[in-house]
Amino acid sequence: MTVNDAIDRYAYYLVAERRLSTHTVQAYGRDCAEFARVLEARSVASIEAVGASELVALLAAMRDRGLSARSRARVLSAVRGLFRYLMREGVVDLDPTADLRRPRQEKKLPTTLSRENVSALLDVGGQDDCLVSRDVTMIELVYATGLRVSEVVGLTMSQINLEAGFLTVVGKGRKERAVPIGSYSQRSLTQYLEHVRPMILAKPGATGTTRLSQDVFVTRRGRHMTRQSFWQRLKKITLRADVRQRLSPHTLRHAFATHLVEGGADLRAIQMMLGHSDISTTEVYTHVARDRLREVHKKFHPRP
């Protein structure tokens, strides 16, 4: 079987059987394409002919291009998944990735926001601009729930239970979880749904069809927000709030988790709200909290 045919079959399996999201499948496809380019350069056309030397060449090529250990590990993970699938299907007899070590990664702590900067973002006035009001509501919701950006822009009306104060979210791996909203975000979301959203959908650019949209967060054309558009809107709110820090929607998610840890929240509860499959992913926030405590001690203790 050719390398490209093997990758195509793997992609179909991820969609049809694993039911992964389009975004995730595309990411796997890009990583496997990186692998295919290295094999082509080595004149390896058949997937059965791939051995450990080709994988070493793949890692070396990525290192020479300046890719980080994290990026190299991600590509290796995609290729490992490809060969596990091919072995189950009987296409190959051996997994050449079995004895290959994962590139060692530097432990990078997530970027977060101070409580003061979060408050500055949420205090941006939006009474005169319904789109700004929408943006601040999204920021409030991400900070209150720790949702991923793809989860918040993909929210539909049926996922919200304002009376109970919960959202139902379908996250990575199509796993469903319930996340509490919190009273502040609950009030903000109620205000948005009752007053701001109808104003946006009533604008001239929104067609009759889009006015019936079930998307929670909509654009002036009546369509649902995209990850990219939310990122751009967040940058504008950051400038308006005079927050002098580069941030992304994921930074708000980090702030949510970090501030919960600092407040003494149970790590397992945070793991469930974030939708992490492994507790070790959540544990990184304990390191962030410790660093913050160390800074406070150094700054305010009379004998630091």
Tell me the catalytic residues: 148, 172, 250, 253, 276, 285
d(CA 303, CA 17): 60
- Alpha-helical runs (H) found in the chain: 3-16, 22-41, 52-64, 69-88, 115-122, 130-145, 149-153, 183-191, 197-201, 227-240, 249-262, 267-274, 279-300
Side by side, the strands of the sheet bearing 160-161 are 160-161, 166-170, 176-180
Q: Which residue has the tokens 């980090």?
A: 254
- How far apart are the C-alpha atoms of 60 and 83, rounded to whole Å? 20
Contacts for 8-16 with beta carbons within 8 Å, 24 or more apart? Answer: 9/85, 9/89, 10/81, 10/82, 10/85, 10/86, 13/85
Measured distance CA(83)–CA(16) in Å, rounded: 18
DSSP 3-state of 208: coil
Closest CA to 268 of 258, 290, 253, 283: 283
CA–CA gap between residue 182 and residue 276 (Å, rounded): 20
By the 8 A CB rule, do 64 and 21 touch?
Answer: no
> Taking a C-beta distance cutoff of 8 angstroms, is the pair 159, 169 a contact?
yes
